[in-house]
Amino acid sequence: MIVVDANIVIYLILETSFTAVARQAYEKDSDWNVPELWEAEVLNGLMTEVRAGHTRVQDAIRASSNAAALLSGRAHRCDRENVLRTAHEARLTAYDAYYVVLARTLGVPLVTEDGPIIRNCPDVAQSLKGFLGLEGGPMVLREKRATYRVSRKR
């Protein structure tokens, strides 16, 4: 049993340069678990791929259905107080803290390619390569947080 973050789910359900490694992780341990917020994060990631021109909306819809089937019955509720404390202590977003809290609660590894999670929560977080025992560190680190701009009407 492992906890996987939204990006790992996307790597498995949508053909990317990381799909082969995600499939290896699934072959090693197919008991993938996620916090309840997984669906919104996966759908957002799929839309990012559509908007970037990397996939078609029809393929994103099919991938979202595959993710729902894959994770049926594997979404877990997390304690809000624990999520907030973890986010604060580890300097993570609340979204990311959900995955960390779930992994700690279940006592299993969290497989992620998110750099801040790997750095700040080494007790549970590991990269795909780390999980598979391959050489090297994370394949991709999401270092920059999204920045949002507010348009001001004049």
Distance separating alpha carbons of residues 67 and 98, to the nearest angstrom: 18
The pTM of this model reads 0.86
* Best CA proximity match to 75, nearest among 138, 14, 4: 4
- Specify the number of domains making up the chain: 1
pLDDT at residue 141 is higher than 60: no
Indicate whether 140 belongs to any domain. Answer: no
Distance separating alpha carbons of residues 22 and 28, to the nearest angstrom: 10
What would the two tokens of residue 69 be?
């089937």
- Mean of pLDDT values over 79-86: 98
Indicate whether 32 belongs to any domain. Answer: yes
As a dihedral over the C-alpha atoms of residue 109, residue 41, residue 147, residue 55, rounded to 10 degrees, the angle is: 110
Q: 146: pLDDT confidence band, cut at 50, 70 and 90?
A: very low
Indicate whether 142 belongs to any domain. Answer: no
pLDDT at 83 (0 to 100): 98
Three-state SS at 3: strand
Indicate whether 45 belongs to any domain. Answer: yes
Distance separating alpha carbons of residues 113 and 129, to the nearest angstrom: 9
pLDDT tens-digit map of 19-34 = 999 999 999 999 999 9
Domain enclosing residue 94, as ranges: 2-132
pLDDT at residue 144 is higher than 70: no
pLDDT at residue 138 is higher than 80: no
* Domain CATH code at residue 106: 3.40.50.1010
Indicate whether 17 belongs to any domain. Answer: yes
